[in-house]
Structure 1
Amino acid sequence: MKELDPTTASFGELDAAASRLLAGLGPLRDADVAAPSLLPGWTRGHVLSHLARQAPALERLLKWAGTGVETPQYIDRQARDAEIEAGARQPAEALVADVRRTSAHFQRAVEELPAPAWDATIRPFTGELCTPRRILVIRLRELELHHVDLAIGYGFHDIPATARDIVLDDVLGYYAEADGVPRFTLRDGRGAELARFGTGGPVVSGERADILAWLAGRASGDALETTGRLPELPPWI
């Protein structure tokens, strides 16, 4: 599991990702947020509602770490989905304001989390045991991938290299432990090996942004090169 230490640089990555997102939301109007996103079945309003509601949900995990009192991220998936649905049909101005407010509140929460809490054990909605260092990765990943999902002119090649590589390492870490991953080797555009799944199989290579898009289920992999048939990956979370 990818984690980030609670440093000024890590906090800066989160803040910069949120700022890029919010800068892109400015022109959105009501008809824009009602339009489909790149995620099947979700409008842009659903994506924005999810981002807004995810921030306080992650803060509940930070509270768990700070107090030692178990505070789940969500009660259950039904409650999570209901929160997203309830916010998805809000006007654009309200949705953007919600994302702005909750992002700022989350940023303060991580920056003010007491040092001992960063070593506490918590359990996110996805089920793994971790420390709040994992929360920094989760939030950065969600900000960047869902920014792309909004289809507002921000693509995988627009993600800055540092943030992109953090998210890429996180997705690769998932597949390293997942069941049903076929054998193949993954290399970036310069030939550096990023991951090896089993022994043998084709070599898949390409730009890191294109690799991330494929691994995260946002692209078919047409932009990648392979020495054989492109592997069929199990779904990513």
Structure 2
Amino acid sequence: MFSDIDDATDRLLAAAARLTDDDVRQPSRLPGWTRGHVLTHLARGANALRNVLLDQPAYASQESRDAGITAGATRSAADLVADLASAAAALRATAIALPADQWQAEVTVPGLPPFPKSQVLLRRLVELELHHVDLGIGYTGADWPKTFTELDLPEPMHTQRAERLAYS
């Protein structure tokens, strides 16, 4: 799973690095969100998943999550990409260092039923692939690797993937 996440992260970072400051202020495919919101959400999402691997709350609160995304969305394209790269690297380092006996421990994220830490990697991969499509910069479900399209995803990830395919 690490190689799939690394590949998805690399594709996303390469695409985001081509965006200008004007590009990141343009609307994404997510209602009410610019591309800057989506990129900030992906960075904060990596931080949240890192937190749950460390047995900490994903976010201090829903309000702080939302405020952080809103504030971060207005940064320059270069700052958004740097933040995303840093957050992705920190999540990867934490996941690699996690002892094998901790992967089955249950974690909670606001709005979702508890799930084992082993699903954190799957959730990150799904988040990367779906939100790359949400940026509306030419990456579609047709660009997803076969390993991603063939994954048997639990809900709501299965439905979310199907929704992004409808964009194509």
* TM-score, normalised with respect to structure 1: 0.66
Contact 2:140 2:165 (8 Å CA) reproduced:
no
Counterparts of 2:43 and 2:127, CA distance in 1: 11
Counterparts of 1:212 and 1:73, CA distance in 2: 21
Q: 1:160 to 1:61 in 2, by over 3 A?
A: same
Query: 1:132-189, CA deviations, whole angstroms, 9 ceiling, x for partnerless residues?
Result: 11111111111000000111111100000102222xx32xx326xxxxxxxxxxxxxx
- Which of 19, 29, 52 is 1:28 aligned to? 19
- Which of 6, 11, 15 is 2:6 aligned to? 15
Counterparts of 2:155 and 2:137, CA distance in 1: 28
- Which of 143, 153, 166 is 2:138 aligned to? 153
| Alignment partner, residue 86 of structure 1 | 71
Matches within 5 A, 1:132-147: 132-147=117-132
Deviation at 1:212, TM superposition (A): 6.6
Counterparts of 1:212 and 1:77, CA distance in 2: 21
Query: 1:24-80, CA deviations, whole angstroms, 9 ceiling, x for partnerless residues?
Result: 11211100000001111100000000001111111110001xxxxxx2112332121
Counterparts of 1:108 and 1:126, CA distance in 2: 26
More strand by share: 1
Highest Rg: 1 or 2?
1
Residue 163 (structure 2) pairs with residue 216 (structure 1): yes
Residue 24 (structure 2) pairs with residue 39 (structure 1): no
Please provide the CA RMSD for this pair. 2.0
Runs ≥4 residues deviating over 6 A:
none
Residue 54 (structure 2) pairs with residue 60 (structure 1): no
Deviation at 1:218, TM superposition (A): 6.2
The AA in structure 2 aligned to 1:148 is: V
| Unpaired runs of at least 5, structure 1 | 1-9, 65-70, 176-194, 196-210, 224-237
Counterparts of 1:165 and 1:104, CA distance in 2: 26
- Which of 101, 104, 118 is 2:86 aligned to? 101
Percent identical? 43
Counterparts of 1:63 and 1:147, CA distance in 2: 26
Q: 1:217 to 1:159 in 2, by over 3 A?
A: closer
Alignment size in residue pairs: 167
